[in-house]
Amino acid sequence: MGEDRRQEITEHLATYITEHKIDVMEDVLAKRTRFLTVVLEDIYQPQNASAVVRTADCFGVQDVHVIEGRNVYDPNPQVLQGSGKWVDVIKHDGGGNNTEACFKKLKQDGYRIIGTTPHREGISLPDFEVDQPTALVFGTEETGLSEYAMEHVDDYLRIPMYGFTESFNLSVSAAICLSHLTASLYRSDLNWGLSEDSKTSLRLAWYKKVVRRSGAIINEYLSSESH
């Protein structure tokens, strides 16, 4: 679909959406980022993965990469609370070493890959700087990151712990990291926002999700335009 036609469809769907809802979506788009992304490796508790997706939405992180291995990502609607339709969940489930495939794609896209773990002497969260596109990798609940992930990340990140317990719950760890890092990112002078093309694509995708029968409306519009 050409850029002009995509814009026409977006403007047509906008006539079915209240001005208030459009303003809210524009405000969210202005604060959305792909500069920081989250990677979940072989998470076996659906509520944890779903909680991370919800957290990503709350902090303006657009993409969550899900690496499937022994476990398949099965969204939990009660935990997601609708956040799943606003965040792009990118599955890596092609078979073989899906972690390797995910890391290769992230590297191609220019990401620095950071493994979150309490088991290595990594950078403490308060000292970590998001000064380039960064992917935070969280491992499975009981054993953490896979051996492959541990060997191929660019660095390690740890949350300072002051009690007897070794680590936080997965979804809590993700929330703590995203809260700290997005706040730092949004205060910076970095070009962390979405490109105009990404905003255009997301705007249309979101309009389709909020307009009832959007598929039929688009087909009717295209049909009328062709006559």
pLDDT in tens, 202-213: 999 999 999 999
Question: Nearest Cα to 135, choosing from 206, 66, 76, 69?
Answer: 66
Same domain, 115 and 205: no
pLDDT in tens, 4-17: 788 999 999 999 99
Say if residue 221 is exposed, middle or buried (CB neighbours under 10 Å; 0-12, 13-18, 19+): middle
Segment 8-27 shows an average pLDDT of: 95
Number of folded domains in the chain? 2
CA distance 206 to 154: 34
Q: Residue 37's pLDDT is what? A: 98
Q: Residue 3's pLDDT is what? A: 78
pLDDT higher than 80, residue 196: yes
* Domain CATH for 110: 3.40.1280.10
CA distance 199 to 224: 27
Same domain, 178 and 201: no
Same domain, 167 and 66: yes
16 part of a folded domain: no
5 part of a folded domain: no
21 part of a folded domain: no
Same domain, 133 and 93: yes
Cβ proximity of 39 and 138 under 8 Å: yes
pLDDT in tens, 46-94: 788 899 999 999 999 999 999 988 888 777 677 777 788 999 999 999 8
pTM listed for this prediction: 0.92
Same domain, 44 and 72: yes
Same domain, 90 and 161: yes
Cβ proximity of 40 and 67 under 8 Å: yes
CA distance 209 to 186: 27
Segment 19-48 shows an average pLDDT of: 94
10 part of a folded domain: no
7 part of a folded domain: no
DSSP characters over 141-169: TTTBS-HHHHHH-SEEEE----SSS----
pLDDT in tens, 96-117: 899 999 999 999 999 999 999 8
84: containing domain? 32-192
Residue 15: count of CB within 10 angstroms of its CB: 8
Report percent pLDDT > 90 for the chain: 69
DSSP characters over 126-148: GG----S-EEEEE-BTTTBS-HH
Average of per-residue pLDDT values in the chain: 91
CA distance 120 to 183: 25
40 part of a folded domain: yes
Same domain, 76 and 105: yes
CA distance 203 to 24: 11
182 part of a folded domain: yes
Same domain, 119 and 213: no
